[in-house]
Structure 1
Amino acid sequence: MRIHDLNELDREAFAAALHFAFELSPWVVERAWTARPFPSVEAMHGAMMDVLNAASEDDKLALIRAHPELAGKAAIAKALTAESTAEQAGAGLDRLTPEEFARFHDLNAAYGKAFGFPFIICVRLNDKSSILRAMQARLSNDRATEIAEAIKQIGLISKLRIQDAVTD
């Protein structure tokens, strides 16, 4: 899809075309529609991040909570979005040893208990070892730091997803 074509769409069609960018949260894309026309993919994603950064904490938490746990129940049940499935597989999370799976399970549980939402990281920029290290390290952060980090990681995830699908 081309940026020019996206600029021509009405709000509903624009949100439908880019619904995949922010995990089960098309509101981010829909709210950014008012900033069009976008001169570039970068500018379009920037407008979406402006929407996200200006969102209420409740909206941010809803977006964060829309993301699945890494190597979690949804992955096992094959209930992830196509984008999350491909991203987790690309990082090797679909090929964990029993020990690695147990480590992910334990860290997911500890992280969820500490913060009340799933651990978010751009898996396309990591592998299973670096993800496990980050999960362990970030457990020592406070909640506000983790909300900010989750939003930063969602920005990276959505940028890569959009770059894959949209051309200038």
Structure 2
Amino acid sequence: MRLEDEIKQPTFQNEGQKAYINLAFTAGWLSGRQAAAFRPYSLTLPQFNVLRILRGQHPKPATVALLIERMLDKTSNASRIVDKLEEKKLVTRTVCPANRRAVDICITESGLRLLRQIDDEGTADPSRNGFNQLSEAELHQLNLLLDKIRS
């Protein structure tokens, strides 16, 4: 559906304004779809993101600083997310033997199993969120344009 119809705004000041609003609207739309997809697993998108980072580190531990550096949403409270994941027994937190001021965070077998289930069910598959509407060439162009905006 066209942005104009979605937000009931027939005109924009210019294409730049429309692109900015369209990008913000689409980001919110994707967030909502992802939140709904992860709800059956009792996960939020930031929690899923942390679990994926930890799976990538596995079997090595991660620190909160590493999680913050790699998270998609830099405004998320990584410590609080780890607290929630620890309550769910999806991660463990232990004092680093080499540096007693640091804390090692590791994904548990339960966390790995949950990610395998999410992978097997295709929950995080981008094609479920409209990306199947774009060709490989269009996806490549979209990635180039998004990278260009951030540079």
Larger Rg: 2
Larger RCO (alpha carbons 8 Å, 6+ apart)? 1
TM-score computed with the length of structure 1 as normaliser: 0.29
Higher fraction of strand: 2
TM-score computed with the length of structure 2 as normaliser: 0.31
